[in-house]
Amino acid sequence: MKHTFEEALNIFKGLFFKLLRTAHEIHIQNFDEQSVQISDILSLKTGGCSEDCAYCAQSVRNGTKMPKQPMLDLDVVINTAKKAKECGASRFCMSISGRCPSSDNEFDRICEMVEMVKALGLETCVTAGFITEKQAQKLKKSGLDYYNHNVDTSPEFYGNIVSTRTIDDRLKTIEIVQNAGINVCSGGIVGMGETNEDRIKMLVLLANLPTPPRCVPINKLVKIPGTRVDDSSSIDDFDFVRMIALARILMPKSYVKIAAGRNTLSESTQALCIFAGANALFSGEKLLTVDNIKDNADGRLFAKLNLKIENPTL
């Protein structure tokens, strides 16, 4: 079913508690309301990116002067994945900076890492920018479960954030990944100066894809000095909860993930998000280049809410 912006806007602006109740009812029809999926993420290669994403510390076009880190060794990646699994993660995400894999050798190393992490009994996710149909097929053969490729924001606001690629470029990569039979993880960032209408349009865009993303991460902007959006106004917590609820309503069978910025959300706000349909979280103290939650914060929150960690059968 195709969704319209007007429909989504009316849902978003409705009575707050009715919105949460509707989203919660849809959630429990499709997922176990007591379970939350946990992911951890590792930057395989950091910095030196030629893209000009306004929010990113790794862009050479921003003023962050992020030092470049070459590709990590396989044993470092595997040991990190093992620790993530011991801490409750069921999905391990691997990211490389850059517009796309820089060479066939680099891409082959990513595929090897996917195979090795998968062998640990973890779901695998990769974000490596633009990839070809051949590369997507190779990732599928390596056992990749998810490919992350965010649309970032609405089509109308996109040009304010990125000029080195278009949102249509993003959508083409999503199509390539889905055609290869890999689950798509795609969402965006809120708090970059966009309006609530832009945020709603982003969710409508994702919901109206031929196959909506299996996982929809909602990132609250982490303001990094030197980026072009480090002085933007933060999103109101209630609007953030509304975003989570709307994502759940528009994409009832997708995992809705609270991603970056969770360390700025109170336990009460996170609890509202989970009630409204968020059923996936990034754990760990680091998300690529920014801080995440403190040690054992999830354990304390889950105990207060009587939640359990989802352990899917691979």
pLDDT digits (tens, 9 = 90+) for 96-145: 888 778 789 999 999 999 999 999 999 999 999 999 999 999 999 999 99
Q: What tens digit of pLDDT does each residue of 36-58 get? A: 999 999 989 886 677 888 888 77
Residue count (the chain): 314
Mean pLDDT of 291-311: 79
Work out the pLDDT band at 291, boundaries 50, 70, 90.
low
For the chain, the average pLDDT equals 90
Cα 298 to Cα 136, 201, 203, 220, distances in angstroms? 33, 31, 27, 18
Q: What is the pLDDT of residue 103?
A: 84
Instruction: Please state the pTM of the whole predicted model.
Output: 0.92
pLDDT of residue 87: 84
In order of start, what are the domains of the chain with their CATH numbers? 5-309 (3.20.20.70)
Predicted confidence band of residue 310 (pLDDT cuts 50, 70, 90): confident
Question: Per-residue pLDDT averaged across 273-290, rounded?
Answer: 78
Residue 228, pLDDT above cutoff 60? yes
**The residue type at 236:** D
Asked which of 163-172, 225-234, 286-295 is least confident by mean pLDDT, the reply is 286-295
Q: What is the pLDDT of residue 220?
A: 94
Instruction: With beta carbons less than 8 A apart as the criterion, state whether 242 and 8 touch.
Output: no
Minimum mean pLDDT range among 171-175, 288-292, 295-299:
288-292
pLDDT at 50: 76
**13 contacts: CB under 8 Å, gap ≥ 6:** none
Reported as a single tens digit per residue, the pLDDT across 14-30 is 999 999 999 999 999 99
If pLDDT is split at 50, 70 and 90, which confidence band does 290 have? low
| Residues 6 or more apart whose Cβ sits within 8 Å of residue 104 | none
| Residue 219 near residue 180 (C-beta atoms within 8 A) | no
What pLDDT score does 314 carry?
43
Residue owning tokens 């080195």: 164
For residue 47, what pLDDT is reported? 67
pLDDT of residue 187: 97
Kindly state the average pLDDT of the residues 156-163: 94
167 or 283: which leads in pLDDT: 167
